[in-house]
Amino acid sequence: MNGTLGDKREIEKKKTNGCLRVRTTSNSCLGPALRYLCLAQFEYLGYPPGYPEPVEDQYTAPQIPADVPRIQLRLAGEKRKHNEGRLEVLYEGEWGTVCDDDFNIHAAQVVCRELGYSEAVSWAPSAKYGKGDGRIWFDNVHCTGKEKTLAQCESNGIGVSDCKHSEDVGVVCSDKRIPGFRFLSPLNNNSLNIQVEDVRIRPILASYRKRIPVTEGYVEVKDGGKWKQICDEEWSPMNTRVICGMFGFPGEKRYNARVYKMFARRRTPSYWDYLVNCTGNEAHLSSCKLGHSLMAKGNSSCGQGIPVVVSCVAGRAFAPTPMAGYRKAFRQEQPLVRLRGGGVVGEGRVEVLKNGEWGTICDDHWNLVSATVVCRELGFGTAKEALSGGQLGQGMGPVHMNEVQCSGFEKSVTECQFNMDKDSEGCSHEEDAGVRCNVPAMGFQQRLRLSGGRNPFEGRVEVLVERNGSLVWGTVCSEGWGTMEAMVVCRQLGLGFASNAFQETWYWPGAVSADAVVMSGVRCAGTEMSLSHCLHHGDHLSCPKGGARHAAGVSCSETAPDLVLNPQVVEQTTYIEDRPMFMLQCAYEENCLASTSSSTPANSYRRLLRFSSQIHNNGQSDFRPKASRDSWVWHDCHRHYHSMEIFTHYDLLSLNGSKVAEGHKASFCLEDSECDEGIEKKYECANFGEQGITVGCWDTYRHDIDCQWVDITDVKPGDYTFQIVINPNYEVAESDYTNNVVKCKSRYDGHRIWMYNCHIGGSIGGETEETFPGLLNNQVTHR
């Protein structure tokens, strides 16, 4: 082959899922996203005649000595993830539990590997996943971590225990499965859970092969390193429901069975040894029971059956349709459930609408079944995880539901049973429940990457686009690049929240071949699933600065702050003050007065609407000003530093939404005024101290501070809406911008003012909210 030493290539005629592999020693090799797209496009074709099957990771089943008791394990109980639960042991045809006495991470390691997981994450004592039934088979278990089965660990002996079921141990395993793991069932018991290496939906028909997401095809399990189909004998709609849910789909539909029968006749399937038995409320196939063995029926084939086919229905967000614009013309029904505070699509704190007010769910008895009802209701699949303890930030308002128990088949979590006598008794927002849902694989992550960063959470933004028939990587123009755009990038990559948006990235040198700008004019609302869904220039690029060092960049974080204003404090502290102009010189210099104040004599008065504001940080990380302290601006008049140009907007609106008076507050000083019990103050303004608001603390701006007002000197008597917006310019990334607005009804008679019905934007039902003009919340649509 011709070539130079600097560009030496070898063409390796080796089949990898239908793609010709190019091996090169130069820097011009295929990128990982291009390889992925190639694999995804041709995987369904299989291997042509003459090519051997690829070499799979070899899994060797553990050799158990003949004198070791034969047992089987499963994870059961009130799970919050499919790979965790109460440890149960099957011995001599009877299921029992394991006592937590002397149990440790080494024993958990043995359990997880025996179940086919790569490792243990943790273990839990004291029946965390509920009390089991039957015998307690093991007590005082001592493992080294190298045993092949729990039965090889030292213990008091099988069935010898002085424990109660209140001491049942639980185990949490990693998501990752052991490569090549082979499911073996020497006991051949159909009460066993299914533990296979992997599961997929493989598209068969040409019309589904290029669809994203994949919604229809064979259900295949990877067992012993090989993909195998499942015989459709005894397959039920409940099985289909579970499979579709696993892959992020809330529903299923009928398919053309005749076509698949014809396909099965043309190519002999390779069947898995077992059938499947699901009840329909499982969140994952691993929670379903093992069905009959094909071999036990005296036949290793499927008889008159064919491979299992499922056809799933995607949620509205994942199923774009030409009629989408038409549908928006109609008024959509008010949802009863929503997610808030999540960093990626399909996760968040669960909030429900009750009596016209949004509130949260207490995590008592919160499990995968109830979480799955929420996920399906919102157009996702089953739940990956039921979150507890306010892990995705604390909500505001009431706790509407406690001790929720769902069957798994409800249309809405509001239909599930819960403790009617104590909606919120004994519950605080520290116990707010959340979910992480299974969402369809859209391939978004493969079309975006961060390059040149010091870690995977930062770097220059590079996108994969088609140019002249080829896929190429390029940069994004940084003109107008901000927090909202960075939020979308971090969400698309599954990296959580944006912590910073950068308009220069010279310190993150990416690949020179990707310096060219391929996307410009990007404007995002912040809620899009992909950067390509944001407004942008398309093929008509415009970027005067160019890419390379001026390309857009981001840094991401798994956590973010969440500022929430206390509406009751605003309502209770409002009053009017007439203040002489000569005492307002500093406020005048900072533009805290109405424009007519410039012609006001020094001995005249300005009428000020004064109030206090109390701003809580309910998020998961501290709120810090965007500017570093060396760039804070000293204001000699007020004798303090400003760390943010604009921190809040105060507006008085007419009933039709037009602004009649306004005020703004530069960040006087971000500090911890007070904190929840057990949390120490971290930030204070004295002596040029660090500024910020700690998680669980709040910053109080008293009514007697300069600029903590709206100048209403020129306002006529009447009814108005008073509106406060925190972090209005999105200078600092937050987990939830929808709760940054507070609105109040107000009445001014020319002498006095009344403030009432103060609430956080979006905290009440849509119909009630529409009676308040102004912003619904601080979430942009498009800037």
Average pLDDT of the residues in 147-172 = 94
Instruction: Return the closest-CA partner of residue 763 out of 433, 352, 390.
Output: 352
Cβ-proximal residues to 72 (8 Å cutoff; 6+ apart), any chain: 89, 90, 185, 187, 189, 192
- 180 or 400, higher pLDDT: 400
Q: What is the pLDDT of residue 190?
A: 62
What secondary structure letter does DSSP report for 605?
E
Confidence of residue 693 (pLDDT cuts 50, 70, 90): very high
Average pLDDT of the residues in 16-24 = 39
Average pLDDT of the residues in 677-695 = 88
Q: What is the pLDDT of residue 334?
A: 73
Q: What is the pLDDT of residue 332?
A: 56
Judge whether residue 337 has pLDDT over 80. Answer: yes
Residues 351, 352, 358: CA angle, nearest 5 degrees: 80
Q: What is the pLDDT of residue 4?
A: 37
- Which of the residue ranges 68-77, 135-144, 190-199 has the most confident prediction, judged by mean pLDDT? 135-144
Backbone CA torsion sign across 78, 84, 86, 92? positive
Confidence of residue 263 (pLDDT cuts 50, 70, 90): confident
Judge whether residue 503 has pLDDT over 70. Answer: yes
Q: What is the pLDDT of residue 382?
A: 96
Instruction: Return the closest-CA partner of residue 605 out of 576, 582, 574.
Output: 582
Confidence of residue 522 (pLDDT cuts 50, 70, 90): very high
Q: What is the pLDDT of residue 774?
A: 57
Confidence of residue 783 (pLDDT cuts 50, 70, 90): very low
Q: Contact, 300 vs 273, CB < 8 A? A: yes
- Which of the residue ranges 4-8, 42-46, 133-137 has the most confident prediction, judged by mean pLDDT? 133-137
Q: Find out whether the peptide bond into 213 is cis, omega within 30 degrees of 0.
A: yes
- 510 or 678, higher pLDDT: 678
pTM of the model: 0.81
Please state whether 152 falls in left (phi above 0), alpha (psi between -120 and 50) or beta. alpha
SS (H, E, C) 204-222: CCHHHHCCCCCCEEEEEEE
Q: What is the pLDDT of residue 420?
A: 73
Mean pLDDT value across the chain: 85
Q: What is the pLDDT of residue 567?
A: 94
Judge whether residue 767 has pLDDT over 50. Answer: yes
Average pLDDT of the residues in 470-498 = 94
Q: Please give the full DSSP string across 336-350, using - where no structure is assigned.
A: SEEEES-SSTTEEEE
Q: Contact, 243 vs 285, CB < 8 A? A: yes
Judge whether residue 325 has pLDDT over 70. Answer: no
Share of the chain above pLDDT 70, in %: 85
- Which of the residue ranges 1-5, 377-381, 768-772 has the most confident prediction, judged by mean pLDDT? 377-381
End-to-end CA distance of the chain: 54
Q: Contact, 110 vs 150, CB < 8 A? A: yes
- 433 or 197, higher pLDDT: 433
Judge whether residue 374 has pLDDT over 50. Answer: yes
Confidence of residue 639 (pLDDT cuts 50, 70, 90): low
Average pLDDT of the residues in 653-659 = 92
Cβ-proximal residues to 453 (8 Å cutoff; 6+ apart), any chain: 459, 460, 508, 555
Residue 39, φ and ψ in degrees, nearest 5: -65, -45
Q: What is the pLDDT of residue 19?
A: 39
Q: What is the pLDDT of residue 632?
A: 78
Cβ-proximal residues to 749 (8 Å cutoff; 6+ apart), any chain: 717
Out of 43-57, 556-570, 688-702, pick the least confident.
Answer: 43-57
Residues 694-708 have pLDDT tens digits of 999 999 989 988 888
- 685 or 312, higher pLDDT: 312
Confidence of residue 37 (pLDDT cuts 50, 70, 90): very low
Judge whether residue 56 has pLDDT over 80. Answer: no
Q: Contact, 489 vs 530, CB < 8 A? A: no
- Classify residue 411 by burial, with Cβ atoms within 10 Å: 0-12, 13-18, 19+: exposed
Judge whether residue 660 has pLDDT over 70. Answer: yes
Judge whether residue 59 has pLDDT over 60. Answer: yes
Q: What is the pLDDT of residue 687?
A: 74
Confidence of residue 558 (pLDDT cuts 50, 70, 90): very high
- 539 or 228, higher pLDDT: 228
Confidence of residue 293 (pLDDT cuts 50, 70, 90): confident
Average pLDDT of the residues in 303-310 = 90
Q: Contact, 675 vs 556, CB < 8 A? A: no
Q: What is the pLDDT of residue 24?
A: 39
- Classify residue 61 by burial, with Cβ atoms within 10 Å: 0-12, 13-18, 19+: exposed
Judge whether residue 573 has pLDDT over 70. Answer: yes
Cβ-proximal residues to 139 (8 Å cutoff; 6+ apart), any chain: 98, 99, 101, 155, 156, 160, 161, 162, 163
Out of 58-67, 466-475, 577-586, pick the least confident.
Answer: 58-67
Q: What is the pLDDT of residue 321?
A: 47
Residues 410-437 have pLDDT tens digits of 999 999 999 876 555 678 899 999 999 9
Q: What is the pLDDT of residue 34?
A: 40
d(CA 51, CA 73) in angstroms, rounded, equals 39
Structure tokens at 149: 């089965």
Q: Contact, 235 vs 294, CB < 8 A? A: no
Q: What is the pLDDT of residue 307?
A: 94
Q: Contact, 123 vs 102, CB < 8 A? A: no
Confidence of residue 779 (pLDDT cuts 50, 70, 90): low
Q: What is the pLDDT of residue 587?
A: 83
Q: What is the pLDDT of residue 319?
A: 75
